[in-house]
């Protein structure tokens, strides 16, 4: 217990001096923790501290957040685009990739092209999964663009509900802000 406290105090002092967080190997040498302690929430090692300094024991901690954004109104049979907007509230850069899932309301279908190009669509056309690489800096954003088409027989005016955007990342311990609903307004021609 005392040994772990001493290591923690040394780490805080080192961070204050600008030398960075101790590495996972350094923690293993002190007996204060091994590579299992340096593993992120995914259970695998993050490869040392995050580029922005890292959280406790070198783990990256990033707070991914989905912002609410309804797509532009659309006519029956027309198309509009969902902007799945994700920000990293920090404090660290993402050390692992993250996934954005867009679930479309009933009465709509995803219709490419998508951004990023690697987005994958489910068989029913209502779920789109987009993967983003590691490295999203603190206070920066990423956006998946998912075009959708509304059924030609959709009544207008109406509002299609049940859409949502969800982000999942192993560096994010706070999932309370990782999903937002959206609606599609259908207007007469």
* Residue 22 confidence (pLDDT) above 80: no
Say if CB 94 and CB 135 are below 8 A apart.
yes
CA angle in degrees (0–180, nearest 5) for 120-125-130: 25
* Residue 26 confidence (pLDDT) above 90: no
Supply the pLDDT for residue 9.
Answer: 30
pLDDT digits (tens, 9 = 90+) for 121-157: 999 999 999 999 999 999 999 999 999 999 999 999 9
The predicted model gives 163-189 an average pLDDT of: 97
pLDDT digits (tens, 9 = 90+) for 73-116: 999 999 999 999 999 999 999 999 999 999 999 999 999 999 99
pLDDT digits (tens, 9 = 90+) for 28-85: 222 222 222 223 333 333 333 444 444 455 678 999 999 999 999 999 999 999 999 9
Domain boundaries defined on the chain: 2-59, 64-186
Whose structure tokens read 């800096």?
137
Supply the pLDDT for residue 163.
Answer: 98
Where does 12-157 show beta strands of DSSP type E?
62-66, 79-91, 98-103, 108-110, 120-121, 127-132, 141-150
Tokens found for residue 55: 């959280």
For the structural domain made of 64-186, what CATH number should be given? 2.60.40.1510
Specify the DSSP element, H or E, that contains 3: helix 2-16
Supply the pLDDT for residue 58.
Answer: 60
Rounded to two decimals, what is the model's pTM?
Answer: 0.70
């Amino acid at each position: 217990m005392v040994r772990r406290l001493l290591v923690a105090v040394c780490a805080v002092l080192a961070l204050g001096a600008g030398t960075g967080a101790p590495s996972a190997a350094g923690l293993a040498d002190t007996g204060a923790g091994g590579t299992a302690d340096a593993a992120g929430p995914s259970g695998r090692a993050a490869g040392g501290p995050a580029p922005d300094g890292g959280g406790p024991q070198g783990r990256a901690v990033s707070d991914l957040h989905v912002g609410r954004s309804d797509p532009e109104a659309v006519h029956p049979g027309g198309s509009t685009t969902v902007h799945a907007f994700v920000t990293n509230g920090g404090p660290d850069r993402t050390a692992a990739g993250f996934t954005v899932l867009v679930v479309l309301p009933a009465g709509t279908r995803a219709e490419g092209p998508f951004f990023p190009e690697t987005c994958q669509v489910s068989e029913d056309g209502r779920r789109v999964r987009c993967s983003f690489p590691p490295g999203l800096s603190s206070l920066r954003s990423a956006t998946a663009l998912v075009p959708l088409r509304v059924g030609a027989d959709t009544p207008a005016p109406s509002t299609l509900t049940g859409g949502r955007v969800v982000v999942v990342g192993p560096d994010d311990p706070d999932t309370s802000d990782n999903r937002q609903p959206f609606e599609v307004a259908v207007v007469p021609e």
